[in-house]
Amino acid sequence: MSETGPRLVTWENGTDLVIELPVARDVESVWDALTDSETARTWFAPFRLGEESADAGDDVDVPASRPLTFELEDADLDGTVLSCEEYDHVLLELEAFGVLGIRLLPVEGDSGEETLLVFTHSAADVESARAQAAEFGPMWDTHLRLFARALGLEIDEATEPELNAAYSDLSLDVADSGDSTDSADADEAGS
């Protein structure tokens, strides 16, 4: 059975709300479901992609971007695909939410090849991340649970009070950048 695992992770450029979801499906199956507009209708909203921007040209330092629109029931949610590597990750910037990412990591599991889906919602600092987690975390968690169900997986229901409590008091991890001072900071942040 799948279960979400949320936390905050601070790193050199900000702090992310990170929600991990183990999925008993291979990366290709998860990616295909994630990037199919009709499947997305069952767990979030159908979407349409615009043409890739010509801003990048041949300059590898300027990422190509694509406009993206999620077709919600009462309005459109516009954004941009900032980065996308098939079967690996997608990084979006949505006007109403900021920068969101989904990374798929292959893992060995009970059923063989499985996937760890890692969802991130970026913020500039810890305070902003805590506020975003409390406001949006329950919603993202609910959509990830719906995604797992769209894949045919069993996942426990979570009530609104349970989700609100979980996302209002998340632990804070410090990303390891390889610098020995980070581990001391992590110890202090975890205290």
Q: Is 90 exceeded by the pLDDT of residue 185?
A: no
Instruction: Answer yes or no: are the C-beta atoms of 45 and 36 closer than 8 Å.
Output: no
pLDDT (average), residues 16-37: 95
Neighbours of 26 (CB within 10 A): 17
70 bridge partner residues: 47, 77
Cα atoms found within 13 Å of the Cα of residue 118, Cβ hemisphere only = 16
Q: Work out the angle between the directed axes of helices 126-150 and 27-34 (0-180°, nearest 10).
A: 100
Give the pLDDT score at 176: 76
| In 26-111, beta strands by DSSP E | 47-49, 66-71, 76-85, 89-94, 98-109
pLDDT at 70 over 80: yes
Residue 51's pLDDT is 79
pLDDT value for 58? 53
Tens-digit pLDDT profile for residues 89-115: 999 999 989 999 999 999 987 777 899
Helix (H, G, I), strand (E, B) or coil at 17: strand
pLDDT number for residue 119: 97
Average predicted confidence (pLDDT) for the chain: 86
Q: Which amino acid is present at 72? A: L
Domain boundaries, the chain: 5-42+86-185
Q: What is the pTM of this model?
A: 0.83
How far apart CA 162 and CA 142 sit, in angstroms, is 11
Topology of domain 5-42+86-185, CATH: Alpha-D-Glucose-1,6-Bisphosphate; Chain A, domain 4 (3.30.530)
Share of the chain above pLDDT 90, in %: 66
User: How far apart are alpha carbons 89 and 102 in whole angstroms?
Assistant: 5
Q: Is the pLDDT of residue 1 over 70?
A: no
Decide: residue 47, CB within 10 A, 0-12 exposed, 13-18 middle, 19+ buried. buried
Place of tokens 């991130």: 120
- For 121-178, how does the pLDDT look when each residue is reduced to its tens digit (9 = 90+)? 999 999 999 999 999 999 999 999 999 999 999 999 999 999 999 999 999 999 875 5
